[in-house]
Structure 1
Amino acid sequence: MDLVGLGMGTWNMGEDPKKKKDEIAAIRYGLDNDVKIIDTAEMYGEGKSEKLIGEAINGYDRSQMYIISKFYPYHATPELERKSLEASLERLGTDYLDLYLLHWRGSHRLSDTIRGLQDLQKEGLIRNWGVSNFDTADMEELFSVPGGNECFANEDLYNLDHRGVEFDLLPWQEKNNINFIGYSPFNSGEGDSIRITHNLKTVARDHGATPHQIMLAWALRSGKILSIPKAGKEKHVKENIEAQDIKLSEDELKLINSDFPQPTVKQPLDMI
């Protein structure tokens, strides 16, 4: 399966009991409207996000969902990966993950991390494994380690304000058939930190859309990546689904590029 299109992110979800009802409704709205990919991590609320998802997906056909979770870099040894995974599976109420990611680089040897992930994969506890917050040099190092080329995906920050991956990482991953997952298409927090320029407003008006829908349509424009905006409110999930149908013209992309330029040199990997 190629990871492309729209998924649901769950960072900062499951942590406020007052939001629980709305968050579960949002996830279920996505599942009911063909958004089948859910991204989480053991770090998100120290398991609270996974627990919320477990409650939201209860009663749904597990085989029709694609669930991604991540483990801390200090859990990146065979023994600790297994413990992390078992805890995540219990919270999620499932017996396997579709994709399990090393959340960011740590001090453990990549060879040990890969060995543990391969064991979990052989046992059917995970379908695939990958990494997150890896830059091009990290990916090259990963590929130099036995089994490293089995990596299925890399998840990095990608939005209008953070385009550095376009310079070398995205081409490298495409060449090596590694799926790219872009997190925080609106940045983190309340999604209001990317400036709403006049050009963004113009393009949005021409499509009868919101500026945030244009931001998401821009992130999805290549048809080659998966973008995972937060799925905290049903209204936002609905708007995200609608954004998939927005096709930006070359002229519109030029307008957007004039405000948010493409990288012309290598940039350090951005993270949130």
Structure 2
Amino acid sequence: MIHSLTDKVTFNNGTEIPGLGLGVFQIPDEDTAEVVSMGISNGYRLIDTAQIYGNETGTGIGIKKGLATTGLSREDLFVTSKVWNDHLTYAETISAFEETLDRLALDYLDLYLIHWPGKDAFKEAWQALEDLYAAGKIKAIGVSNFEIHHLEELLAFAKVVPVVNQVELHPKLSQQALRDFCETHDIKVQAWSPLMQGKLLADPTIKTIAEKHQKTPAQIILRWDIQQDILLVVKSVHEERMQSNAAVFDFALDETDMIRLNQLNESLRSGPDPEVFDF
């Protein structure tokens, strides 16, 4: 379990990733540089973007600005992006990666993910990621939104086991079976949309637990993840909220709290269902 914003978790290949990071989903490219720079200045060391977000250029500018402001080096940051795997061939995946690297103005990525499994869509893309990893252009490779059967299919041919599966995960969608499978195969689980795009903040159970600990509902949810060793990517464009999201290391949820939060699961999604989402 991580104990600070800069604490890291070790992947199955030895690479270390900060347990709590800043995501930039749905932030316009022209606004992203300021958000990323602000995040770095406020202690965030993991920056998570994607090809489909359309803001890799702004992310790269923000990284450069944040490093200049803080005096950190590139190696102090962990940068993730994702390939929008619309049935890409091997060559198309290599090209997409190079374009991502150019937009970010970086020499390498710390983590590169296949964004969605699609229907029989990821074999060539994964083989491309494996070769980019072998060439040293990526420190670690993984997947996003993969269900158990997708992972089983991947593991049947993969030479490199993914280090992480980034999925929608929150108290209304606890993903326990998927988490158990990933743990068995030494694949970390990282939550996107851990606050269910804000829809959980008014939940009565979460609000009651928040009042008990004198914390915000968002802090309760993020702490629930942290105590289960779930990696986190949290989006915010406001400095106060960035700071609040990081202020989750000075309290602990007790067993009763955890039981009550676990009982909220309804297998309810706010994003697409990987079983039917294709492109």
TM-score of the two chains, using structure 2 as the length reference: 0.82
Equivalent in the alignment of 1:74: 86
Which of 234, 249, 253 lines up with 1:248 in the alignment? Answer: 253
* Deviation string, structure 1 residues 226-272 (Cα, Å, up to 9, x no partner): 111103221111011002433101122233344x14x7xxx698744
| Aligned equivalents of 2:268, 2:195: Cα separation in 1 | 20
Alignment of 1:210-225 (within 5 A): 210-222=216-228, 224-225=229-230
For residue 155 of structure 1, report the CA deviation from its aligned partner: 0.7
* Deviation string, structure 1 residues 184-224 (Cα, Å, up to 9, x no partner): 01123xx2x226233322221222211111111112221x2
Q: Secondary structure at the match of 1:127?
A: coil
For residue 11 of structure 1, report the CA deviation from its aligned partner: 0.4
Which of 9, 18, 27 lines up with 1:13 in the alignment? Answer: 27
* Deviation string, structure 1 residues 53-74 (Cα, Å, up to 9, x no partner): 1111115121111111111112
* Deviation string, structure 1 residues 126-160 (Cα, Å, up to 9, x no partner): 1111111101111111111141x421111100011
Aligned-residue CA RMSD in angstroms?
2.3
Instruction: Say if 1:162 and 1:270, in contact at 8 Å, map to a contact too.
Output: no
Equivalent in the alignment of 1:233: 238
Which of 195, 202, 214 lines up with 1:196 in the alignment? Answer: 202
Q: Which amino acid aligns with 1:242?
A: A
- Structure 2 residues without counterparts, runs of 5 or longer: 1-9, 12-16, 68-72, 273-279
For residue 112 of structure 1, report the CA deviation from its aligned partner: 1.9
| Aligned equivalents of 1:134, 1:117: Cα separation in 2 | 16
Between Structure 1 and Structure 2, how many residues are aligned? 252
Which of 100, 108, 132 lines up with 1:88 in the alignment? Answer: 100
Equivalent in the alignment of 1:101: 113
Q: Which amino acid aligns with 1:256?
A: L
- Structure 1 residues without counterparts, runs of 5 or longer: none
Instruction: Say if 1:181 and 1:226, in contact at 8 Å, map to a contact too.
Output: yes
For residue 4 of structure 1, report the CA deviation from its aligned partner: 5.8
| Aligned equivalents of 1:257, 1:177: Cα separation in 2 | 23
| Aligned equivalents of 2:84, 2:253: Cα separation in 1 | 37
Instruction: Say if 1:41 and 1:50, in contact at 8 Å, map to a contact too.
Output: yes
| Aligned equivalents of 1:105, 1:268: Cα separation in 2 | 20
For residue 172 of structure 1, report the CA deviation from its aligned partner: 1.0
| Aligned equivalents of 2:51, 2:78: Cα separation in 1 | 17
Instruction: Say if 1:74 and 1:107, in contact at 8 Å, map to a contact too.
Output: no
Equivalent in the alignment of 2:214: 208
Within the alignment, does 1:155 sit opposite 2:166 as a pair? Answer: yes
Which of 154, 177, 180 lines up with 2:186 in the alignment? Answer: 177
Q: Which amino acid aligns with 1:233?
A: H
Instruction: Say if 2:87 and 2:118, in contact at 8 Å, map to a contact too.
Output: no
Instruction: Say if 1:74 and 1:108, in contact at 8 Å, map to a contact too.
Output: no
Equivalent in the alignment of 1:143: 155
TM-score of the two chains, using structure 1 as the length reference: 0.84
Which of 129, 146, 150 lines up with 1:134 in the alignment? Answer: 146
| Aligned equivalents of 2:105, 2:222: Cα separation in 1 | 30
In structure 2, relative to structure 1, the CA distance for the partners of 1:231 and 1:244 (3 Å cut) is: farther
For residue 27 of structure 1, report the CA deviation from its aligned partner: 2.6
| Aligned equivalents of 2:253, 2:222: Cα separation in 1 | 11
Identity of aligned residues (%): 29
| Aligned equivalents of 1:108, 1:251: Cα separation in 2 | 42
Q: Which amino acid aligns with 1:133?
A: N
